[in-house]
Amino acid sequence: MKIPKILCISMLLFVLPQAVFAEIIFIDDFVGFSNEISDQQTFTIDFESGNLPTFNDPNSSQSVNINALNNIRGNGFGTAPASGALQGGVNRNDNSTRIITFTFSEEVNSFGLSIGDMFDAPGTFRLTTNTGITFLDATAFFPNGGTGQVTDTITGSTFTGGNGLHVFFGVTDSNPFNSVTLTHIDAPGNAADNFVIDDVVVGTAVPEPSTYILLFVLAVGAWFYKNKKAVYAKESTN
Q: Determine the structural domain holding residue 168 and report its residue range.
A: 20-211
Q: Which are the contacts of 204, defined by CB distance < 8 A and separation ≥ 6? A: 40, 41, 42, 62, 106, 107, 108, 109, 110, 176
CATH number for 143: 2.60.120
53 upstream amide cis, omega within 30 of 0: yes
Q: What is the pTM of this model?
A: 0.80
The identity of residue 221, as a single letter, is G
Q: Is 28 helix (H, G, I), strand (E, B) or coil?
A: coil
In a domain, 15, yes or no: no
In a domain, 164, yes or no: yes
The residue with greater pLDDT, 8 or 150, is: 150
Name the pLDDT band for 158 (thresholds 50, 70, 90).
very high
Q: Tell me what the mean pLDDT of segment 132-158 comes to.
A: 95
In a domain, 225, yes or no: no
Q: What is the pLDDT of residues 185-194, one digit of tens each?
A: 988 777 777 8
In a domain, 232, yes or no: no
What pLDDT was estimated at residue 207? 77
Alpha helices in the chain (DSSP H): 5-15, 30-36, 209-237
In a domain, 195, yes or no: yes
Q: How many domains does the chain have?
A: 1
Do residues 186 and 217 touch, judged by C-beta distance below 8 A?
no
In a domain, 43, yes or no: yes
The closest alpha carbon to 124, from 100, 97, 145, belongs to 97
In a domain, 70, yes or no: yes
What pLDDT was estimated at residue 120? 85
What pLDDT was estimated at residue 229? 54
In a domain, 99, yes or no: yes
Q: Tell me what the mean pLDDT of segment 90-119 comes to.
A: 92
Name the pLDDT band for 51 (thresholds 50, 70, 90).
confident
